Structure 1
Amino acid sequence: MINKKSFASDNHSGIHPTILEAIGVANIDHAPAYGDDKYTQAGISKLKEHFGENIDAFFVFNGTGANVLGLQAVTTSYQSILCAHTAHINEDECGAFEKSTGSKLILLPTYEGKISVEDIKKSLHSVGNPHRSQPKVVSISQTTELGTVYTPDEIKAIADVAHENGLLLHMDGARLSNAAASLGTSLKEITADVGVDILSFGGTKNGLMIGEAVIFFNKEHAVTFPFVRKQGMQLGSKMRFIGAQFEAYLSDNLWYDNAKHSNDMTRLLANELEKISEITFVEKVESNAIFISIPEQYLTKIQENYYVAVWSKALSQVRLMASFDTTEEDIHQFVALVKKVISDN
């Protein structure tokens, strides 16, 4: 029987009670559609508090929509995006970026989940060559797909080389809150302050029901987005239910508290798993994700009791994640099950 609590993904968690309450409040009466309501405007005001007054911000339904449409707004079909080979836009969005834009993804190697300034520079040799797709944007994920975290200095270095070569910097911030909690920074300190041009800011992995924000730090880059969003089927008629969530999420440090809690629970889980000799850690633990290798005969038994994400079947590697609602009891129950499976086999 599968346990009700999952360590496979923070997407498996429910809605934070404060967010659910905010949705209920927004549901009390009628309100104008398509964002012309007080809840959407309040959500955007909160985004400006955290990211800067001069941003343009737009709500969409999901992370794929945020990434694809944010990039589509600043690219044409003969241009390309430089990104990690592990990037979500490459591996987990079913070719949505290429289909929607006609643009090309240039895949870079990663080091602990991160791309390097050196590899970006190596990919710029064809600038100006009409036979080659022209680089337009560098895209990074924060946190990375391997759970590691770019420091502010690392982001700034990437932004600097991008801007020096006429490129923009896009950030897939599906777990940006976890990164900020890990670094002990504000959201602005790892985005606007270090040169990010376009941000996909996620909340569904950290307590929201639905909804992401696309943020442009230069208003010129946002000019086409209202049309791109509508044509891309991401303009919500009852947008107030997304705006209300973001207002609550960005009030009273809820975003930070949720992210810090999931990070802390992940660290506790890692500390406990490190004591088990049969388990090998394959990536650094810097946010709310753990990547481990565990012999297949144990993994099969664990999967009979818990959802876990198999990252590499061939290498018997799995990803474990904690969520805003993971408890210490959940951690200890899972670790006890792992130890029992190993001892019984």
Structure 2
Amino acid sequence: MHFGSDNTSGAAPEIIEALAKAAGGYSASYGSDEITKRVEARLAEIFECELSAFLVATGTAANSLALSTYVPPHRAVLCHEESHIHVDECGAPEFFTHGAKLVPVGGEAGRITRAALEEALTFWSSGGVHRQQPALLSLTQQSEAGTLYSLDELRALSTLAHEKDMAVHMDGARFANALAALGCTPAEMSWKAGVDVLCFGATKNGALGVEAVIFFDSEKARDFARLRKRGGQLFSKGRFLAAQMEAYLEGDLWLRLARQANEMAALLAAGFQEKGIALAYPAEGNEVFAFLSKEQQRALFKAGVQFAPWDIAGENRPLARFVASFSTEKADVEAVLRLL
């Protein structure tokens, strides 16, 4: 029973089949292949606008290279204090921006609040040459707490950032899960909400390893092809990244996979609550944070349930994170609940 991370799941059969098909014959290299061209056109169709899209292999590369496009070394990135770029990317954003400062901003349940953003902007925008001035706001959708920004919240935060001449980046490692949960369009949750550059994830949701960095202003992407090359993310056989993404998008597979993960997480969350187990955050996507005692956690581990013990600053109760994936089945959820 695997709830440790959606990174531990395998790959969707449709994506494996697409890779096998792409492996035959010969194709242009370095992203000049026909599959990559089709993916770029498909993304423009899905997002209902002209855009520039670049495929990379990892979320860390996508985020770090995207930030480096907008943020020079003497500027700053405002991000949530629990965001992946701040906590879990081993300094890669700072490395690729050549030293731009990541400024953590508060907000409950993984989301930056307008009040916290205004406070950070007031402080960091003052100080003259003595402080790194904010150049970009990074938002994570779905958040590290498994929660979602509403469309109104996204628009409000993006508007505030743009008023301060800042760009807006979205870490969309679980973009599909958020979109499936909100029931809106990709355009409404990205550029229509003020997002300038989106890291569109697929790896956590059924791909082997591919992410798309999507610029909604192609002029800003002018140098990205060389940044990607310099960052070691330009694959010579780029068709194997593109084949994954094409299959991921075909027939809305990406949304079907995300809905399965979300539904299983919702079922697990409801089961916890029926047993009187409190949740740390609303289970709005495919992650569930539950207050399980140490005894319960040990018993589940012993029975073969995989999950992650978790910590929240200022919270003394033991906590566990469960992540459902596209391959999680109802029987897995029911087994965990029976064990409890």
CA positional deviation for 1:234: 1.0
Match of 2:289 among 277, 288, 291: 291
Aligned to 1:70: 66
CA positional deviation for 1:127: 2.7
What SS does the aligned partner of 2:260 have?
Answer: helix
Aligned to 2:103: 106
Unaligned runs of 5+ in 2: none
What SS does the aligned partner of 1:6 have?
Answer: coil
Instruction: Call closer, same or farther: CA 1:107–1:286 in 2, change over 3 Å.
Output: same
CA–CA distance in structure 1, aligned partners of residues 15 and 211 of structure 2: 14
What SS does the aligned partner of 1:159 have?
Answer: helix
CA contact (8 A) 1:10 1:322 kept: yes
How much is the aligned-residue C-alpha RMSD, in angstroms?
1.3
Q: Any idea what the Cα deviations from partners look like across 1:1-33, whole Å, max 9, x if unmatched?
A: xxxx31111111110011111111111111111
What SS does the aligned partner of 1:306 have?
Answer: coil
Matched to 1:241, the amino acid is: F
CA–CA distance in structure 1, aligned partners of residues 156 and 197 of structure 2: 16
CA contact (8 A) 2:279 2:290 kept: yes
What SS does the aligned partner of 2:104 have?
Answer: strand
CA contact (8 A) 2:265 2:324 kept: yes
Match of 2:121 among 124, 133, 153: 124
Relative to structure 2, which stretch is displaced further, 134-143 or 240-249? 240-249
Q: Any idea what the Cα deviations from partners look like across 1:238-293, whole Å, max 9, x if unmatched?
A: 1111111111111211111111111111111111111223x221111101000011
CA contact (8 A) 1:43 1:245 kept: no
CA–CA distance in structure 1, aligned partners of residues 206 and 113 of structure 2: 32
CA–CA distance in structure 1, aligned partners of residues 208 and 25 of structure 2: 20
CA–CA distance in structure 2, aligned partners of residues 47 and 233 of structure 1: 23
Matched to 2:9, the amino acid is: S
CA–CA distance in structure 2, aligned partners of residues 312 and 124 of structure 1: 28
Unaligned runs of 5+ in 1: 340-345
CA–CA distance in structure 2, aligned partners of residues 186 and 261 of structure 1: 18
What SS does the aligned partner of 1:97 have?
Answer: helix
Match of 2:53 among 51, 57, 73: 57
Q: How does 1:6-25 map to 2 (within 5 A)?
A: 6-25=2-21
Q: How does 1:116-195 map to 2 (within 5 A)?
A: 116-125=113-122, 126-127=124-125, 129-195=128-194
Match of 1:115 among 103, 107, 112: 112
1:264 correspondence with 2:263: yes
Match of 2:336 among 319, 334, 337: 334
TM-score (norm 2): 0.95
TM-score (norm 1): 0.94
Matched to 1:13, the amino acid is: S
CA–CA distance in structure 2, aligned partners of residues 253 and 25 of structure 1: 19
Q: How many residues align?
A: 333
CA–CA distance in structure 2, aligned partners of residues 267 and 166 of structure 1: 39
CA contact (8 A) 1:152 1:189 kept: yes
Q: Any idea what the Cα deviations from partners look like across 1:28-85, whole Å, max 9, x if unmatched?
A: 1111111010111111111111123311100001000000000001111000000000
Percent identical across equivalent pairs? 38
CA contact (8 A) 2:107 2:116 kept: no
CA contact (8 A) 1:42 1:244 kept: no
Aligned to 2:319: 317
Matched to 1:114, the amino acid is: R
CA contact (8 A) 1:56 1:216 kept: yes
CA–CA distance in structure 1, aligned partners of residues 267 and 125 of structure 2: 47
CA positional deviation for 1:121: 1.8
CA–CA distance in structure 1, aligned partners of residues 47 and 309 of structure 2: 35
Matched to 1:203, the amino acid is: A
Deviation above 3 Å: which 4+ runs of structure 1? Answer: none
CA–CA distance in structure 2, aligned partners of residues 141 and 312 of structure 1: 19
CA–CA distance in structure 1, aligned partners of residues 240 and 274 of structure 2: 44
CA contact (8 A) 2:272 2:290 kept: no
